[in-house]
Structure 1
Amino acid sequence: MGTFSTTIKEHYNNISYTDGGKTYSDVKIFKTNPATESIAAAIYQNGNKQMMENTNPSGINPSDVIAKTNGGAMEYGEHGDAFYGIAYQDGHLYISGYSTNSSDPVFDTLRINYYPSFCVKTDGTATIRWFSSRTSLQTALPYISTIIAASQPLVYTDKSVFEHTLFDQYDGGHQILNPADLNDTNYHYWDRYCNNTTNSKSNRTFLGHKPDGSFYMVCVCPARMSLPVGAKLMLDLGCDYAVNLDGSGGVKMRVASGYTNGFTSGQMTPGGTDWFGEVVCAYLK
């Protein structure tokens, strides 16, 4: 197990994490209160992007949004300039950045098998799904409050995908990752979605869920971390499910006044691109 420089509090933390003798400084962690707070996707569609400061989830009062990070990575060219994967919020479904519905024929032409969808259920629990058919998505949507499009799974059923042989529980029972080939198309994990940087050190944004109902929004910036180490970090936070969202220049966190534990509110990371297609927001329920 790795160690944290201090106990993680609710809301904003800026800590160091040590694993295998290596210390990663300036790790930004926002932890929600499971009784009063949750997360949702804020989405801009049809190739458009928006500044994080102006991005809020549909159906949620902007004044109730207390923290934000960048969402899933961007896909350039194939679907314009938009996040890839499946996202869902306030009854609206988006596939690779375009507003649609689960009956849209485009669903059958996408590489859905490799899109990890971080799903927050209506009962407050979370899971990771790979919706490999329209039917599986249609069946699940009534029980889901939000779907956040992710890049790679990190933690699945309380275990690192890099350290255990794991199989999805809902979408065909496929093995999640082939450790010998991270781009093996017979498995869910596709390293190309993070530019083949799984084992490289980069700035990262992670999202995780803890069994008590709390969520962790994590930005590793300016520290640089590989995804296997990121999975260990999320496990040490107690997550049962966790994903990698985006990395490199796209890493950014903002925290509202009153939720910073004494730090100055606003942008908490030193960099971060200005325009996003998907933003993860913590909000007051």
Structure 2
Amino acid sequence: MNKKRKVTLKYLAPFMVILLLICQMTYVYAATTISNGYTKKTILDKTCYIYQTDSSKESVDLSVYPTGSKQTLNNMILSNKNLTLTAKTNSNFMEYGQDAVAFYGFAYANGKLYYNGKLIPNNDPTKITLDSRLVSLVYKNNGSVLIDRLKYNGTDTVKSAITNAKFIVSGSRALLINGVDKFSTYGNDDGWPNESHDRTMLGIKNDNKTFLLVVAKSITGKEGVKIMKELGAYNAILLDGGGASQMYINGTGTVVGSSGTYYGTALIAYKN
């Protein structure tokens, strides 16, 4: 390589870096745009049922019905019965049947902690035996989000998680944490997240817009990450799926899934 060519490359390098950054920014801004409210959209060849909240007018909370009191999704409500509910999806893993285990993992709503379908007295996590496979998304009252495998042996992350928490929901895997793909770090330690199934997911954007998502055409967790990125999610979690996946829209009814399924937990969007 002659001297003249070396000098040329030296001065071109900064411009090449800038061009690469512009391309990356362009990719981010090319993400699929969705309107607030309910949308049915094909993303990456998958049929997606999406409800995105208007963060200035709507919020999301968790509805909890312990084992023995499960409800169909259309009948599930929040503790404040005067709220106008706009959309609902299934959330925690559960067993099928009205009298079966209502849900697995942590659930926290209205200041009460639940685990594996039961209310935890005094919110004391030492009264339970943890299943370390499940991941929880903690949504704080200030809008901040934590996704982690909660535990109390060694480091007590349960007590810190429920402090100033609005709700906690549990799923099989984190998809995105602070914009970074977390799903790929788990490997193949559990088959279900890596298999193709209908999926229910929760995504939260940087501007606190929250979207409930059901993908009716079977996808893997890895494909779920791609869809969440395409929708602009910053934090996202993989919830129950398969035959449990369902979305209910106020004024429309069930748009995907079986309306006869009984649940112990549901994510519900409502008007402030």
Does the pair score TM above 0.5? Answer: yes
Q: Per-residue deviation at 1:273?
A: 4.8
The residue type paired with residue 8 of structure 1 is I
* Bigger helix fraction: 2
TM normalised by structure 1 equals 0.77
Residue in 2 that maps onto 1:202: 197
Confirm or deny: 8 A CA contact 1:70 1:276 kept in the other structure: yes
The residue type paired with residue 193 of structure 2 is T
Runs of 4 or more above 4 Å deviation: 1-6
| 1:111-260 aligned within 5 A | 111=131, 113-133=132-152, 135-163=156-184, 165=185, 177=186, 179=187, 182-183=188-189, 191=190, 196-221=191-216, 223-257=217-251
Q: CA 1:158–1:29 in structure 2 vs 1: closer, same or farther (change >3 Å)? A: same
Residue in 2 that maps onto 1:268: 255
Deviates most, 239-248 or 5-14: 5-14
Q: CA 1:50–1:270 in structure 2 vs 1: closer, same or farther (change >3 Å)? A: closer
Output the CA distance in 1 between the equivalents of 2:65 and 2:86. Answer: 19
Confirm or deny: 8 A CA contact 2:106 2:116 kept in the other structure: yes
Output the CA distance in 2 between the equivalents of 1:70 and 1:249. Answer: 11
Structure 1 residue ranges without an equivalent (≥5): 166-176, 184-190, 258-264
Residue in 2 that maps onto 1:280: 267
Fraction of identical pairs, as percent: 28
Q: CA 1:229–1:239 in structure 2 vs 1: closer, same or farther (change >3 Å)? A: same
Q: CA 1:14–1:219 in structure 2 vs 1: closer, same or farther (change >3 Å)? A: same
Aligned-residue CA RMSD in angstroms?
A: 2.5
Output the CA distance in 2 between the equivalents of 1:129 and 1:256. Answer: 31
Output the CA distance in 1 between the equivalents of 2:105 and 2:87. Answer: 23
- Residue 234 of structure 1 aligns to a residue whose secondary structure is helix
Residue in 1 that maps onto 2:33: 7
Please give the per-residue CA displacement for 1:161-220, whole angstroms capped at 9, x wherever unaligned: 244x5xxxxxxxxxxx2x2xx32xxxxxxx2xxxx2223221110101111011110011
Please give the per-residue CA displacement for 1:53-91, whole angstroms capped at 9, x wherever unaligned: 111122x33542110001111158xx9522111111111
